[in-house]
Amino acid sequence: MTEFSKKWRQAVRIGLQVVASVLLTTVVWVLLYRWVAPPATWLMLERRAHRPEGSYQGLVDERNIRYSFVSMEEVSPQVPLALVAAEDQRFLQHHGFDVDAIAKAAKRNRGNGTRLVGGSTISQQVAKNVFLWNGRSYLRKGAEAYFTVLIELLWNKRRILEMYLNVAEMGDCTFGVEAAAQRYFHKPAASLSKAEAALLAGILPNPLRFRASSPGPAARAKQYRVMRNMTRLGGTRFVQQVLEE
């Protein structure tokens, strides 16, 4: 065996060991969060360090993160219902990826060069929000798909939705429905009404543009659409299906 062949085999072996270590680490990481609340996310750390670009004027001067992890039982059933109604109405039917929604988004984006429309499911958004950094790249999208598969395999739908309602950004330096409820409505998430839950869910496409503290016509229109979707889903009876997961 030549010296080159030996070095090549050694390099391949080391490469496989690195890949195996990375895969094992990510699996353990995802399994850990099946029961443990994340202490923080990359986006939280980014918001803590930098104010968002543009003219957004936050309600807080200091860059302190508002984040309080709560269980599904500690929030109003209107909250998970509103999130599904706003973001992913086929949440209980798909296994992480909604092919129809992705196809529709791609078709709309081809004819719209200024404003991109997303087709991400709640599972994909959890993968991005909990495990990954902010930004757009093929590497990040690939990692997002990988983590989406992992959480669908290792978590149930209840945990995925519970994680989403806790880490979703709902304003500058504000993450999760408990922090948002306290900030905007001065009450715990357990006391949110249908209209309040729909308003919080409605700002999620762009929580730095649409503000629950002073909703404009666009935010109000989205709130009413979410409320109609909540009724079409069957009301809080839909949430019971998630809790039984």
φ/ψ (deg, to 5) at 188: -70, 160
- pLDDT for the residue numbered 59: 45
- Is a pLDDT exceeding 90 seen at residue 38? yes
Name which CATH class applies to 37-46+66-243. mainly alpha
Asked if pLDDT for residue 235 goes beyond 80, the answer is: yes
Between 110 and 197, name the one with better pLDDT. 197
Q: What is the pLDDT of residues 103-162, one digit of tens each?
A: 676 666 565 555 555 578 999 999 999 999 877 788 889 999 999 999 999 999 999 999
Q: How confident is the model at residue 55 (pLDDT cuts 50, 70, 90)?
A: very low
pLDDT at 180: 94
pLDDT at 90 over 70: yes
Distance CA 232, CA 245 (A): 21
Q: What is the pLDDT of residue 197?
A: 95
Per-residue DSSP letters for 19-72? Answer: HHHHHHHHHHHHHHTTTS--S--HHHHHHHHSPPSSS---S-SS---EE----G
- What rounded mean pLDDT belongs to the chain? 85
Sorted by where each begins, the domain ranges of the chain are: 37-46+66-243
Q: What is the pLDDT of residue 193?
A: 95
User: In this structure, are strands 66-67 and 174-175 parallel, antiparallel, or unpaired?
Assistant: parallel
| Residue 184 near residue 213 (C-beta atoms within 8 A) | yes
Q: How far is CA 58 from CA 49, 51, 62, 169, in A?
A: 14, 9, 9, 13
For the cut 60, the answer to whether the pLDDT of residue 169 exceeds it is yes
d(CA 214, CA 229): 23
pLDDT of 56 over the 60 cut: no
